[in-house]
Structure 1
Amino acid sequence: MSATDFIGTQLPPATVVVERGAVAAFAEAVIDTSAVYQRAGAAVAAGFEDVPAPPTFTFAARLLGAFPDLQPARPDGALDTTEIIAALRKDGGLILHAEQEFAYHRPVLAGTTVHVTGEVEDVRVTTNSRGKRMTFVRLRSDTRDEAGELLVTEVMTLLHRA
């Protein structure tokens, strides 16, 4: 299988409950001391309907609130990030998390349930100046609220050097 065969591969979908405690703990972990992530009153005073999640929260959200009983069926052929990495590394080489992009459309608020879908958007294979093959894999994930409104788009680029 060529790395470019991954293009269009779905990532497993996830349903994530955005809990206020997880939002506060994440803000603390990334050393963001803003009161809007800790207190509902501060969030409302800042113009939010409820406590918002910090900007990069969705990157870790699957680890914080994707309860097994809420997860949708995994589509046939879907691969998660670790499976893609394992396939890239089957013949060795190194993996680097090369880039991460976020596009924010609407706030992710505590107390909501969000749905995450994604796919391998692009794969580019090149050779570096030392003759090593470098494969760039671009993964896109969309986070939507229960009404289907787009909240956040994330793009992660992995680099495999063989």
Structure 2
Amino acid sequence: MKYLVSIFIIMISLSINAQDIEKNGKLYQVKNERIFLDGKDVTDTLNLEEKTAIIKQSRLIAEKIELNEKAKKLEKNTEKAEKSQKIAEKKQKKAEKELKKRLKAQKQLDKTTKKLESSQKKYKKLKHKGKLSPQDETKWLKKIEKLNASLEKAKKKV
């Protein structure tokens, strides 16, 4: 693709210097309003009608080339804009995904905090009433310790 573009640009630059116009079976070259036939300047030998027709045709070709260049440039800019839009969309999706992940982590943190507080409250209530055996008390302490560990883990994720 790059090679085609560079070849196209070279061809355009060569054709801008001299326009080849075919009229009456002869190949004329037009350079800066001067008309050449086989490398010889024939601008003064041609009649006014032929001269204006050849120059007009040369201008039309130059305009076509210019329009083609503008179209290529516009197409390139459009492709660039589309690429930028895709990159922006990808960034947006990534940001949304990250936000969703953070919200989930925050929800997990809130849930773990609530569960820890509830367990601690229940443990204190049972201990205060004296309804805990030594085995139950170690179970409750292990449960609270696990919940503390889960809470620290959830805090790190947030």
TM-score range, shorter chain: under 0.3
> Larger strand proportion, structure 1 or 2?
1
**Which structure is larger by alpha-carbon Rg, 1 or 2?**
2
> Larger helix proportion, structure 1 or 2?
2
TM-score, with structure 2 as normaliser: 0.20
